[in-house]
Structure 1
Amino acid sequence: MGSFTGVVVEREGHSNNIKLKGNNRLILFLVQSFPWVLGRSRCDKCKRELRWFDNIPLISFILLRGKCRFCDAAIPFRYFVVELLMGFTFVWGYLNLTSLASPTLGQISPISPIFNSANLFGSLSAYPLLLLFTIFVFLWALASITLVDFRFGLIPDGILLASGLIVLLIRIFLVVQGDPWLNSMVMPFFWAFVSSFFFAFLILITKGKGMGWGDVKLVFWMGLWLGWQILIALWLAFLTGAVAGIILILYRRKKWGQTLPFGPFLAWGTLVSAFAGDYLVSHILPKLFP
């Protein structure tokens, strides 16, 4: 998944440059939204198609000494970093899942109680394999969104659509299995619409300073995953974004009035809210606001 994520990030960042013959806008939209399904990976310099054994995460980069097999062009080190981080992320998600059945492993991660919470992941605790798949999709989507926005300054439609469709199907599955329709379907859509309308209103009154319409789509996506816990995610996103902005201004990395990609902060808030939202509400917030 780490190698795939690196490909997704690079192709999403250049998806707007894709041109097709003809005027079929639907096909163009699909190709630009899902550029990571088009063909195999190629060297950025010589354009030679990479062999399967040159795409083994981490190992291929080390064996090739960070160079293309064909032209010796340097492979960007960011691919290695993304693969390493995604590996750690997925191991972390797996350990959280195994903590359901193993108190010993549960001690490794202090946030394992989320699987007993009243959110999407808690509802899936009775279906371990589906829960593991859901966690992996969720983490992959957040990592990809963060990297694309940080590197290219855009929110990738394809990732939102693909992972959004998956979470919708998962929620339908829960309803079929007997979960209340109100909690599993109605409320997530309610919070998705309310939050995205709020962001759209902010963009209109600020004339797009600091946020864009991609953030509106991302917030809607967050609502589908989090439900009411999106309130925690947005609070964390605005808080950490403000702190990061102040620090960058103090260290003269940014000037007053310059913007930061807000997607990474929204993704961070989503991650914390999903895996520790109940803990924040019951333990942290009462101490901050007694």
Structure 2
Amino acid sequence: MAVKILITLGQFGFLILIAPLVNGIIKKIKAFTQCRRGPALLQPYFDMIKFLQREPVVSDHTSWVTQLTPIICLSAYLVAGSLVPLWEHESLGTGDIIALIYLFALARFFLALAALEPASAFGGMGSSREMMITSLVEPVMVAGLFGLAVVAGTTDLNGIRGSGQQPAGLLMFIGLLIVAVAETGRIPVDNPDTHLELTMVHEGMLLEYAGKQVGLLHLAAMIKQVILLILLVHLFWPQNTGTPAYLALVFMVGKVIGLGLVLAMVESVLAKMRLFKLPELMAGGMAFCLLAIVSTYLI
């Protein structure tokens, strides 16, 4: 049990260290494709250090929800990340894909609730948009993950490793990639780099935060992005059996960065969609997942 706990803590540290790097690479590639210089690769680390050194400014109209939301979001995503095996090892066995989905929902619920507390117009607008997008994204995520769980015969994350390596796996991958884009708030669903309040979704919910709190929320968002990319690698592009742990981690980082480059290219060639066009995008993702499930039984 002690070894399992140390492995879990090691995964926490790995996610915290690698998440800003992946985010920096995505921003750098996106800037390169747009003929811009862009920020430095390590700029997200510098931003985290800057935020964590500043004291938070909290509104008098808020309660403990606003105070604890950054910690809850970061903790929920770290625990969710610990459920996804980075290499072949025995996990604590405390959760599966159902727990993963609910941990994501827990963080989203508290963030939306905290954005409403200061009675800010932009916070309320961001929360309402976030909940609308969530109602569209979660059915697609559930359909995709449980479709792979049916193929593997289990909802355990160790058991569904590589379950997307089948003829219908490409359809399921496209559906879950759309989910990853929506969950991470990237174009065409949202623009993580926007400074226009009227177009904000995720960033709109963070306008009332400052200092350490906003730093923790930004770190939580980057960790969430990495978890979704790691999950795609785990389901569709896993490591070969018997690969040493250190090589498995290196390959995992390389594959996650590769998927990050895909996200950067998608952002560079597409424009942000209108909010009321998002149901069509999510319907397309659901169609890919359902077609994959149906074709799995037909083949």
**The TM-score by the shorter chain falls in which range?**
0.3 to 0.5
Greater relative contact order (CA < 8 Å, ≥ 6 in sequence): 2
Instruction: Give the TM-score normalised by structure 1.
Output: 0.35
Instruction: Give the TM-score normalised by structure 2.
Output: 0.35
Between structure 1 and structure 2, the one with the greater Rg is 1
